[in-house]
Structure 1
Amino acid sequence: MHRTLWWTAAALVALAGPAAAQRNGDGAAKKLYCWNENGSKVCGDALPATAVDSARTEISARSGLATGRVDRALSADERAAAAARAEAERQAALAAEAQKRRELAMVESYASEAELRRAYEHRLSLSQGTLQSSRMAVTGLRQSLLSLLRRAGEAELMGKPVAKPLGDNIRTQHAELQRQQRLLTDHQREAAEVQGEFADTLARYRALKISAADAAAGGNGG
């Protein structure tokens, strides 16, 4: 059939006549269904098995007006994707709720910013101490390597070959210096992360304290 949805539905209502306005045996109002089949709009008072999974519009046989729409059935891949989205949303909601509980506990646990700062002092001090130790290790290795290279250079200037133990030591020190430099980079990042976390926590703590104070003031005023 190649009629438009409206004209097809109207024709069915007209053909059905008074009978279409009657209710069926179980008391429900009779419906017409319109769906797409091979590129054409098809309407009928019964839904064939081939159209059960298709998107369709439900129309009142009495008024000829659309009363609802049913989307097509999802494929297995679409159902899996929808389930994955739903699970991701559920996990996000759980994470948000857990974060809210942690923030409320933080406000209740620390009476002042000073107490919150003291709670972070150990982590801040530990990260700074690790960073300082890493810097000292890099400085010491660099100085040691320079000394070894100076000895090798002096030997070459005197026309002597660089002794194998000295060359091996230079390579070993250089590899260790590179390793310590990578560690230093990691420790710098970790220290910055702790500092950033503390700054974010402190800002959030202040905001929550203000909100709590405003809520208390509003409650007292009421």
Structure 2
Amino acid sequence: MKALHTLMAGAVLLALAAPLALAQDAAPGGKKLYCWNEGGRKVCGDALPAHAVDSARTEISAKSGLATARVDRALTAEERVAAQEAERAARREALAEEARKRRDHAMAESYATEQDLRNSFQERIVLLEETVKASRLGIEGRRQTLLSLLRKAGEAELGNKPVSKVLAASIRNQHDELLHQQESLKQQLLERSTADQDLATALERYHALKSGRAGQG
């Protein structure tokens, strides 16, 4: 009789366990539990409420009790913009590094000796100095033209005559061109001031490239 009761109890347990096992096997990936922080405390449940969808959470397998995934919280609009900008900056940096490598390779291929490299930079420096000189002459000429036009306008006003539209337009154009040339001169002076440092940097890279190739040979 006791053996019969034991056999019946075992059959009942098997009958109860079978649907549960089938349900777990049928569920894709098995049933999950979710744990997230809410108001400074940890909350867990077998379903993720709508207000917690954007929260950081841990997903746990109900079958094994082990964490299967960790999901970061959704970014705010400001954080998304910052992340996108950081990604663009990293991409620009990568492109700049790639361009530098190509320039270095071209430099090593183009100049057989250090003197060839120095001569090339010297040509650039001479060209920059000539450009600066021409810009200064152009600015001085533009300034004299503007002063002449302003003098004519002043004489007209002193003579109680209106300044013609053509003269007023010429004054504006000359003034705008003068400002443009002055800005261009600033850029040219900046390029000339950095040319010597650029040469020193190029020589350093050139020596490193040549030394690297000699070591490989």
TM-score normalised to structure 1 length? 0.58
Aligned to 1:102: 103
Residues 34-45 of structure 1 correspond to what in structure 2 (within 5 A)? Answer: 34-45=35-46
Give the drift of 1:38.
2.3
Aligned to 2:63: 62
Aligned to 2:176: none
Give the drift of 1:197.
0.5
Residues 1-222 of structure 1 correspond to what in structure 2 (within 5 A)? Answer: 19=20, 23=24, 25-127=26-128, 190-215=191-216, 217=217
Question: Can you give the 5+ residue segments of structure 2 that lack an aligned partner in the other structure?
Answer: 1-16, 134-185
Kindly indicate whether the alpha-carbon contact (under 8 Å) linking 1:21 and 1:30 is maintained by their aligned counterparts in 2.
no
Q: Please give the alpha-carbon distance, in whole angstroms, between the structure 2 residues aligned to 1:125 and 1:214.
A: 35
Kindly indicate whether the alpha-carbon contact (under 8 Å) linking 1:21 and 1:61 is maintained by their aligned counterparts in 2.
no
Give the drift of 1:201.
0.3
Kindly indicate whether the alpha-carbon contact (under 8 Å) linking 1:21 and 1:62 is maintained by their aligned counterparts in 2.
no
Kindly indicate whether the alpha-carbon contact (under 8 Å) linking 1:124 and 1:194 is maintained by their aligned counterparts in 2.
yes
Question: What SS is found at the alignment partner of 1:29?
Answer: coil
- Do the aligned partners of residues 201 and 194 (structure 1) sit closer, same or farther apart at CA in structure 2, a change above 3 Å counting? same
Give the drift of 1:195.
0.8
Q: Percent identity?
A: 52
Q: Please give the alpha-carbon distance, in whole angstroms, between the structure 2 residues aligned to 1:56 and 1:95.
A: 38
Give the drift of 1:117.
1.3
Question: What SS is found at the alignment partner of 2:29?
Answer: coil
Amino acid at match of 2:72: D
Question: Can you give the 5+ residue segments of structure 1 that lack an aligned partner in the other structure?
Answer: 1-16, 134-184, 218-222
Question: What SS is found at the alignment partner of 1:32?
Answer: strand
> RMSD of aligned C-alpha atoms?
3.2
Question: What SS is found at the alignment partner of 2:64?
Answer: coil
Question: What SS is found at the alignment partner of 2:24?
Answer: coil
Give the drift of 1:27.
3.2
Q: Please give the alpha-carbon distance, in whole angstroms, between the structure 2 residues aligned to 1:50 and 1:201.
A: 58
Q: Please give the alpha-carbon distance, in whole angstroms, between the structure 2 residues aligned to 1:99 and 1:78.
A: 31
Superposed CA deviations along residues 63-114 of structure 1, whole A, max 9, x for unmatched, are 2222221011111111111111101111110111011111111111111112
Kindly indicate whether the alpha-carbon contact (under 8 Å) linking 1:20 and 1:61 is maintained by their aligned counterparts in 2.
no
Amino acid at match of 1:108: E
Kindly indicate whether the alpha-carbon contact (under 8 Å) linking 1:107 and 1:209 is maintained by their aligned counterparts in 2.
yes
Q: Please give the alpha-carbon distance, in whole angstroms, between the structure 1 residues aligned to 2:70 and 2:89.
A: 28
Superposed CA deviations along residues 156-192 of structure 1, whole A, max 9, x for unmatched, are xxxxxxxxxxxxxxxxxxxxxxxxxxxxx99876544
Superposed CA deviations along residues 113-168 of structure 1, whole A, max 9, x for unmatched, are 1211111121233456788x7xxxxxxxxxxxxxxxxxxxxxxxxxxxxxxxxxxx
Question: What SS is found at the alignment partner of 1:28?
Answer: coil
Kindly indicate whether the alpha-carbon contact (under 8 Å) linking 1:20 and 1:62 is maintained by their aligned counterparts in 2.
no
Question: What SS is found at the alignment partner of 1:86?
Answer: helix
- Do the aligned partners of residues 207 and 99 (structure 1) sit closer, same or farther apart at CA in structure 2, a change above 3 Å counting? same
